[in-house]
């Protein structure tokens, strides 16, 4: 007889944890828990206590990742480990479930093992990766980049508008030393790294499907775009002689949208481009804008699409710059290549879903995740669960406790399978 997913989780405990963390937000601005903020530190303290209550050995590594370990047991205990991880930071005015659901699901695996006194010959690590969301330093996935050895000295030396150095903030977050530029030393002992996440799109909900087994995580490239014109009095600067940086920037935004529509239409694989975080200087009602700064976010499941887009964008820049007499500069801020999820782990996840009689499909991720970086050093895989209307990174973001429990059950069965194969 097939076991029911309820066998593996406690729905009341899941719901309580979700809402406890949701309360840790900036006052009057749900749900905002930015990395290094007081609310983030409060949530980390709460999570540490939950890790300890589940019998996990807690530590924070040099990259600021909170790690709870259930040590291997038995005479044949091996120096191997399985990681289940996600994150608890949010974007500004984000949601309750992005990242959080994955950490709580990992804890449910530990509770199941403890409840049934199941000893495993491998370590199980539950990880809250530091700062998965994009921050004021212009870099996402801080903790997983550190673990994979993908942080650079230049990145760590970045200073924000409040003169805070990124490396110093990571150290203050409780790490055991300065962030390393090398991969995790015991990476070869990681037999699997798994993550549950809300889909952040509507494919699962629309198809009434329980589980999405992720095939790949797209490349993510972020660029800073600077447009420099000449500021002037809005009443006296003639229209014919203006070098309006904001007008030029608006043309760039439209061109980016049009080119992205065209490129995505030529390739069935995932490609999107977004212009955001626009800053206008001097930003006065009676002043012709003299400078505009923007961030361009590119995501592609095939890097050929990205390269084609960038080539066409550069040609468009040259024409716009000449016509509007404004200088346009674009600089790469960060880049992550396409990450393929481990095929064998995907098969295990799919089989676990089948055994639980949960419907499933394969799908590509449109968003970036910590597993994209972890996959560079160890086998990694992800499952998605549905979220209402595909909404994410907003207060309306929602998934059901039952959906989290289903995903957690898939994780737990997969862990049991992997551990037994290692024994």
- The rounded radius of gyration (Å) of the Cα atoms in the chain is 23
Q: What is the pTM of this model?
A: 0.87
Q: Residue 202: which residues within 8 A CB-CB, separation 6 or more?
A: 387, 389, 390
Helical H segments across 27-140, by residue range: 38-53, 100-115
Per-residue model confidence as pLDDT tens digits over 117-149: 999 999 999 999 999 999 999 889 999 999 999
Average pLDDT over the chain reads 94
For residue 423, pLDDT over 50 is answered with no
Per-residue model confidence as pLDDT tens digits over 151-167: 988 899 999 999 999 99
8 within 8 A of 353, measured Cβ to Cβ: no
- Position 75 scores a pLDDT of 63
Q: pLDDT above 70 covers what percent of the chain?
A: 96
Q: Residue 319: which residues within 8 A CB-CB, separation 6 or more?
A: none
Q: pLDDT above 90 covers what percent of the chain?
A: 85
Q: How far is CA 236 from CA 199, 233, 241, 244, 284, in A?
A: 52, 5, 11, 14, 15
304 confidence band (pLDDT: 50, 70, 90):
confident
Q: How far apart are alpha carbons 313 and 149 in whole angstroms?
A: 32
For residue 88, pLDDT over 90 is answered with yes
Give the mean model confidence (pLDDT) for residues 22-30. 95
- Position 138 scores a pLDDT of 85
110 confidence band (pLDDT: 50, 70, 90):
very high
- Position 1 scores a pLDDT of 40
Q: How far apart are alpha carbons 36 and 169 in whole angstroms?
A: 7
Domain 5-218+339-422 is found in CATH 3.40.390.10: no
Name the residue ranges covered by the structural domains of the chain. 5-218+339-422, 222-336
For residue 178, pLDDT over 80 is answered with no
Per-residue model confidence as pLDDT tens digits over 28-69: 999 999 999 999 999 999 999 999 999 999 999 999 999 999
178 upstream amide cis, omega within 30 of 0? no
- Position 73 scores a pLDDT of 83
For residue 3, pLDDT over 80 is answered with no
Give the mean model confidence (pLDDT) for residues 93-111. 98
Q: Residue 324: which residues within 8 A CB-CB, separation 6 or more?
A: 229, 243, 244, 247, 248, 251
Per-residue model confidence as pLDDT tens digits over 343-398: 999 999 999 999 999 999 999 998 999 999 999 999 999 999 999 999 999 999 99
176 confidence band (pLDDT: 50, 70, 90):
low
Per-residue model confidence as pLDDT tens digits over 265-297: 876 678 999 998 899 999 999 999 999 999 999
Give the mean model confidence (pLDDT) for residues 5-14. 93
- The hierarchical CATH code for the domain 222-336 is 3.30.70.360
Per-residue model confidence as pLDDT tens digits over 259-271: 999 998 876 678 9
């Amino acid at each position: 007889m097939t076991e029911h997913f309820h066998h593996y989780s406690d729905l009341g405990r899941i719901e309580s944890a979700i809402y406890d963390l949701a309360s840790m937000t900036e006052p009057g601005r749900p749900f905002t828990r930015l990395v290094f903020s007081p609310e983030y530190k409060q949530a980390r303290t709460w999570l540490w206590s939950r890790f300890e209550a589940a019998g996990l050995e807690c530590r924070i590594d040099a990259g600021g990742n909170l790690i709870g370990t259930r040590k291997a047991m038995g005479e044949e205990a091996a120096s191997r480990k399985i990681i289940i991880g996600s994150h608890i930071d949010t974007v500004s005015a984000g949601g309750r479930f992005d990242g959080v659901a994955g950490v709580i699901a990992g804890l449910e695996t530990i509770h199941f093992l403890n409840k049934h006194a199941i000893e495993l010959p491998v370590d199980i690590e539950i990880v809250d990766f530091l700062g998965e969301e994009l921050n004021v330093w212009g870099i996402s996935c801080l903790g997983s980049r550190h673990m994979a050895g993908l942080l650079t000295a230049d990145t760590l030396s970045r200073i924000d508008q409040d003169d805070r150095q990124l490396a110093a903030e990571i150290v203050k977050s409780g790490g055991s030393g300065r962030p390393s530029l090398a991969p995790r030393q015991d990476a070869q002992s990681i037999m699997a790294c798994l993550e549950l996440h809300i889909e952040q799109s509507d494919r699962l909900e629309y198809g009434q499907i329980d589980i999405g087994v992720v095939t790949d995580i797209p490349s993510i490239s972020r660029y800073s775009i600077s447009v420099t014109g000449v500021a002037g009095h809005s009443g006296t600067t003639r229209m014919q002689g203006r070098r309006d940086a904001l007008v030029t920037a608006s043309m760039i935004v439209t061109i980016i949208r049009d080119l992205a529509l065209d490129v995505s239409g030529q390739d069935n694989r995932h490609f999107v481009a977004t212009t955001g975080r626009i800053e206008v200087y001097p930003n006065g009602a009676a002043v012709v804008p003299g400078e505009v700064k923007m961030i361009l976010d590119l995501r592609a499941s095939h890097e050929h699409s990205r390269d084609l887009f960038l080539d066409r964008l550069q040609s468009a820049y040259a024409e716009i710059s000449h016509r509007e007499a404004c200088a346009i500069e674009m600089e790469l801020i960060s880049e992550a290549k396409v990450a393929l999820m481990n095929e064998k782990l995907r098969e295990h996840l799919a089989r676990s879903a089948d055994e639980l009689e949960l419907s499933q499909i394969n799908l590509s991720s449109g968003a970036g995740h910590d597993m994209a970086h972890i996959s560079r050093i160890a086998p990694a895989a992800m499952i998605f669960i549905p979220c209402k209307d595909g909404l994410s990174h907003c207060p309306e973001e929602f998934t059901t406790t039952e959906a989290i429990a289903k995903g957690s059950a898939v994780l737990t069965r997969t862990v049991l399978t992997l551990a037994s194969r290692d024994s």
